[in-house]
Amino acid sequence: MMALRQRTYAVPILVAVLALVLLNAAFDHAFVSFNNWASILAAATPFMLTAMAQTAPVLAGNGGIDLSVGPLAGLTNAVLVAVLVPAGLDGPLPMLAATLAIGGLSGLLNGTLVCIVRVQPIIATLGTFLIYEGLTLEVLPTAGGSAPAWLRAFADRVGGVPGPLLLYLVLAAAWLGLCATAYRRNLLAVGGDERAAFTAGVNVTAVRIGAYVIAGVLAAVAGLAFTSVLGSADPSVGVPYTLTSVAGVALGGLSLAGGRGGMLGATAGGALLFLVQNLLTLAQVSIFYLQIVTGLILLAALAMNAFIERRRLRTLQAT
């Protein structure tokens, strides 16, 4: 019951996602067909995973954000296809290990810059954004290469179950396992009131560095998913998802000031962005208008988030 109450913030975005699923189904009856689930989930994966990657730094407060999630996903995609595959390291174990290592090291770098060097999060992660973008082009100047057959197959079905669904189940289990520890409580405490958390004995620096490590790992997993869906590598594939990741967490009911929200809302926010773009595509809206709509959604999400946060603060002050 307590777990349900902690996630009531996500109810509006989940209702909105359901409404957009019905709208997409009205335009294309095959949208909700069981045979189409795997491809729909695969197409939605970049939006959802990058929004999930943005969640922990935002929850950590103090202006927490990770602008490098998109380029990091692109760098992971390039390394897997352009480095590991030619080296013969294309089995599941080497690729998963490389993905986790890239993500973990990136998160540790961002966390160190933000929490120990004391660089503002938006500046630190903008720096790594540019570094990863340059490294990606160095590793893979143009799109190409081929993902191993087992990874390409994962974008479809594994034992009759959509591969992306299995990925989300694994990530959900990992996050719920982490929530069973004190980490999520400490993360929300640090994001909500850093001084109070420190006074209560929470290691604020460790919690915040951990948030960036989580972000890095999830962004790298998004890169693995890109590789599966594309079946190849593209140096430009990840960059556009940085802004959608921010829009996803804002739409998902997370406070951009930190301390409120969770992974469920961010995932739903990413899904909402995918459903909007898919609906506009079904309606044959020009790609130029798709970009405009995405920008308007981002601005609306940020404005809504700021309004809710101001109202919450006024309520707290009144009591």
- pLDDT for residue 59 is more than 80: yes
Q: What are phi and psi of 158, to 5 degrees?
A: -125, 110
Write down the domain spans for the chain. 2-318
Helices 241-251 + 263-282 axis angle, to 10: 120
pLDDT digits (tens, 9 = 90+) for 117-149: 999 999 999 999 999 999 999 999 999 889 999
Quick one: how far is CA 59 from the chain centroid? Answer: 13
Whole-number pLDDT of residue 288? 76
What whole-number distance in Å separates Cα of residue 25 and Cα of residue 17?
A: 12
Tell me the mean pLDDT in the region 292-297: 81
Q: Are 85 and 148 in contact (CB under 8 A)?
A: yes
Whole-number pLDDT of residue 316? 65
Tell me the mean pLDDT in the region 58-72: 94
* Element holding 233 (H helix, E strand): none
- pLDDT for residue 294 is more than 80: no
What whole-number distance in Å separates Cα of residue 12 and Cα of residue 253?
A: 8
DSSP code at position 116: T
What whole-number distance in Å separates Cα of residue 51 and Cα of residue 298?
A: 13
Task: Please report, rounded to a whole number, the percentage of residues in the chain having pLDDT higher than 90.
Answer: 59
Q: How many CB atoms lie within 10 A of CB 139?
A: 17
pLDDT digits (tens, 9 = 90+) for 177-206: 998 899 999 999 999 889 999 999 999 999
pTM of the predicted model as reported, rounded to 2 decimal places: 0.91
Mapped onto helix, strand or coil, the DSSP state of residue 161 is: strand
- Which CATH architecture is the domain 2-318 placed in? Orthogonal Bundle (1.10)
- pLDDT for residue 3 is more than 70: no
pLDDT digits (tens, 9 = 90+) for 164-177: 888 999 999 999 99
